[in-house]
Amino acid sequence: MAAAGAAAITLAPVSFASAAGGSSGSASGGATPPSGTQVTKTVTGHLDTGAADFVYLPVEIPQGVQKISVAYAYDKPGVPAGTPGNSCDIGVFDQRGTKLDGQGFRGWSGGFRTSFEISNSEATPGYLPGPVSAGTWNIVLGPYQVAPQGMNYRVTVTLTYGEPGPRFVPDYPPQRAKGRGRAWYRGDCHLHTVYSDGKRLPSEVAAGARAAGLDFMVSTDHNTTSSHGVWGQYAGQDLLIITGEEITTRNGHWLALGLPAGDWIDWRYRSRDDAFDRFARKVHRAGGLVVPAHPYCPYVACQWKFGYDSADAVEVWNGPWTYDDESAVDTWDAKLGEAVRSGGPWLPAMGNSDAHSEPQVIGLPHNVVLAEDLATDSLMDGIRAGRNWIAESSAVELTFTVTGGGRQAGIGERLTLPADAPVDVRLDVAGVPNGTVRFITDEGQMHQESLPASGSGTVVWRTTTSLAAYVRAEVRHPMADGTPGKGNTMGPALVWGPMAALTNPVFLVPAKG
């Protein structure tokens, strides 16, 4: 295994080379068995607590195989509350090898499936159809939680002999749809399907995106690009479908957005390994975006530990509003202050649903991006520039501007004016009944105002470039008891209702001299 990658071990190989005519086959000797012959081998073993992140099971594939089928199972002994029980992922690399960032990747299903098949013509979702070539393949087990008793596993490999079927032809989605020129476009950039651990078919996700009033969506299945080749038939002039991947490591998840169809990004490393930056560069070279996802999600291996130096944006709002999103917004807001201090680039915020299955809502939340056109490169430019606000649904509309000295700047932009010149901050919002509008600067919340029951209103506040280095807006729902948020107070309970909309900042810069 490549030195740069995560800890791994390799088991003793399973060989079919001299086993034709074994358990269920009818052939004998070294000759290729007749078409349709199936040969099965089963491997059992035990992994102790402290097993490597990835366990490779080499499988020696002979000539003349048209399909590989793999099934696996492991025991789940009882564990005390608070102790993780057994959980094991699975995937496979072909004869081109398991080298980090190599060519051998053939699929991953995480812990979602107990079996998969690959042939030249088709494959189980999550896996890449193509030749089942002779050589050493590697089934990769990812025991991401191992009980104190250890994990007993069983892997069954079945080879079917015969001529390969016709080659699978991928149907990639186009990179452009019929837009409205330079406009604000709505899109959910973090969505799962049955191609990883979602229960929705691609057709259902595309229908859900349309129903949510979205102009675009990004497909981000965990650790595999196998869905890229099926999106073409579900895209249309009314819905741009962008290809991506959710790179799911043991030290957090990140989105590669706008990844060229078919490009795969490796996930076999931790923060301590010298690998993440290399893959971030790979995504950047391809024109894509690197976006740490749900940085404070409490699930095992889901918290972000790679820092933000290589990030183009951060997902501060993931699915229905929860306390970990508050933490992400706080971290992001602090990074805005750091950018002001250093004069370096600032980190834009994003929000996505991460919807996997019913009843998770596609588009809750989504991004509203100012782009030159409804096209992949234009939208990536808009997100990278922070010309983006986040809405819980397409029922929420919002315009946020700052005006001074006869000039105006919008979300993600900057306004340079003499330090004491008045700057008017204005938010027009609709769709948040009894909501609370907050204006937040590098000093914290500087203005709060409630919206009427109609949900529509305009909030105006005056500042200067000397008083505020940036200003951003939040629109919150009322708290559970119906009252507005508690402004600049502190207490044992959360002081804010759920987020309804969140803008990226406008930067205010005092003119020199």
Chain contacts with Zn ion (rule: CB under 5 A): 246, 253, 293, 354
Coil/strand/helix, residue 424 = strand
177, burial (CB in 10 Å: exposed 0-12, middle 13-18, buried 19+): buried
Helix, coil or strand: residue 207: helix
Beta strands 314-318 and 349-352, pairing class: parallel
Cβ distance to Zn ion smaller for residue 196 or 465: 196
Peptide bond into 359 cis (omega under 30): yes
Q: Where are the beta strands (DSSP E) in 252-334?
A: 252-257, 289-292, 314-318
Residue 270 or 476 having the CB closest to Zn ion: 270
Q: How far is the CB of 293 from Zn ion (least distance, A)?
A: 5
Residue 154 CB, shortest distance to Zn ion, in Å, is 28
Q: How near is the Cβ of 332 to Zn ion at its closest, in Å? A: 17
Q: Closer CB to Zn ion, residue 107 or residue 110?
A: 110
Minimum distance from residue 354 beta carbon to Zn ion (Å): 4
Could you tell me the smallest distance in angstroms from the CB atom of residue 444 to Zn ion?
30
Residue (356 or 477) nearer to Zn ion, CB: 356
Q: How far is the CB of 407 from Zn ion (least distance, A)?
A: 40
CB of 366 or CB of 447, closer to Zn ion? 366
- Closest to Zn ion by CB, 65 or 355: 355
Quote the CA–CA distance of 405 and 190 in Å, as a whole number.
40
Q: What is the DSSP letter of 510?
A: E
Q: How far is the CB of 212 from Zn ion (least distance, A)?
A: 17
Type of residue found at 487: G
Nearer Cβ to Zn ion, position 303 or 450?
303
The 3-state DSSP class for residue 25 equals: coil
Q: How far is CA 111 from CA 142, 145, 250, in A?
A: 9, 11, 14
If the CB atoms of residues 5 and 244 are measured against Zn ion, the closer one turns out to be 244
Minimum distance from residue 314 beta carbon to Zn ion (Å): 13
The DSSP annotation for 435-491 comes to: -EEEEEETTEEEEEEE--TTS-EEEEEEE-TTT-SEEEEEEEPPPTTSPPP-TT---
Vertex 367, ends 365 and 369: CA angle to 5°? 165
Cα(498)–Cα(393) distance, rounded to whole angstroms?
13
Q: What is the phi/psi pair of residue 458, to 5°?
A: -125, 130
